[in-house]
Structure 1
Amino acid sequence: MSQSVPPPPPGNPFADHAYPQAPAPAPVRDNVGLGVAAAFAAALVTAGIYGGIIGATEYQIGYAAVGVGYLIGLAAGKAGGANPALPVVAAILSLGAVYFGQLLGLAIAASDLLHVTVTELLFQRFEFLTSLWKEDAGPMTFLFLAIGAYASFAAAKKSAA
């Protein structure tokens, strides 16, 4: 006579130890490409926001640079995992995002004074815009670049753990 498995008890069949539940699949981690893509997308968005803040207030705000770096690092770490290259990539992207945010803010502020559009300054008169940035750049400008990069590096390492 063949033995058969007894029918499952009523209710949740996985509550009984005779029917163990399979473990959930582990989340995908250490995907460098996804981490870089997420960090790049975050860099584009945060550079625009940072530039808008600078253009509206006509001041560089250090906490905003920290936020730019933190969000880029967070995106890289959460999406890409614990790959040791991601904090470095996130810091480099943060430098670019803070720089382009400063350029955008300068373009917003200068567009009113020069009676030209922001897009014209960014795409047709970029050399003029960068020369304005160089004239305006001081120790605080470079400090904000460094703060953003450090925040990005630290956030990428911490969020990947």
Structure 2
Amino acid sequence: MSQPVPPPGNPFADGAVQPEPFGAPPAPVRDNIGLGLVAALVAALVAAGVYGGIAGAIEREIGWAAIGVGFLVGFAAGKVGGPSPVLPVAGAVLSLGAVYLGQLIGIAMIVAKELNVSATDVFFNNFGLLGDAWSESKDLMTFVFLAFAAFAAFAGAKKAAE
């Protein structure tokens, strides 16, 4: 059997896709600093909650997890906001806050278990005492992991923006 001969005229009239004349169209430019900052803030809050929840559940600080928190915050900033030089710095700062907040959440959970009260009550009603407890428990490694978190956020934002 022979192949049907296409009718003369437009070869794409039957629904065939016309190829792009110069290859695939370029990817849309992600250059929205505001949206990148919002994404980094949301990622920081979520990561702080998860980090603090895990630390409170196992009743230990997980320093290496701070690197993951930092990378997540920076990656969100760079992926959503694009290649702006502001986003890696903002991601680093937000990652420091996320790790600190996560550590406070973990302390609140541990204290709540010991006192048999709600962790949210401990967190919101005694926030100053949690800060004092954090200050008393900090050591050199606390600052090392905070620095690693900030570095991971900076690197994550740069990598995601590529």
Aligned partners of 1:91 and 1:103: how far apart in 2? 19
Which consecutive unaligned segments of at least 5 residues does structure 1 have? 1-5
Point out 4+ residue stretches in structure 1 off by more than 6 angstroms. none
Superposition pairs of residues 40-79 of structure 1, within 5 angstroms: 40-79=41-80
TM-score normalized with structure 2 length: 0.86
Match of 2:131 in 1: 130
Partner-residue secondary structure (3-state), 2:71 = helix
The CA distance in 1 between the partners of 2:131 and 2:50, in whole Å, is: 19
Kindly, what percent of the aligned residue pairs are identical?
A: 54
Q: Where does residue 3 of structure 1 map in the other structure?
A: none
Aligned to 1:156: 157
Deviation of 1:62 after TM superposition, in Å, equals 2.6
Deviation at 1:20, TM superposition (A): 4.5
Helix, strand or coil: the match of 2:64?
helix
| CA distance in 1 between partners of 2:97 and 2:119 (Å) | 19
SS of the equivalent of 1:37 reads: helix
1:14/1:21 contact within 8 Å kept: no
1:38 is aligned to 2:12: no
State the AA in 2 paired with 1:121: V
Structure 2: give runs of 5+ residues left out of the alignment. Answer: 1-7
1-structure distance, mates of 2:22, 2:132: 64
Q: Distance in 1 between matches of 2:138 and 2:49?
A: 19
| Distance apart, 1:26 and its partner CA | 3.6
Structure 1 residues 51-60 or 96-105, which shifts more?
A: 51-60
| Partners of 1:142 and 1:20 in 2: CA distance | 55
Q: How many residues align?
A: 153
Residues 57 and 30 of structure 1: CA distance in aligned 2, closer, same or farther (over 3 Å): same
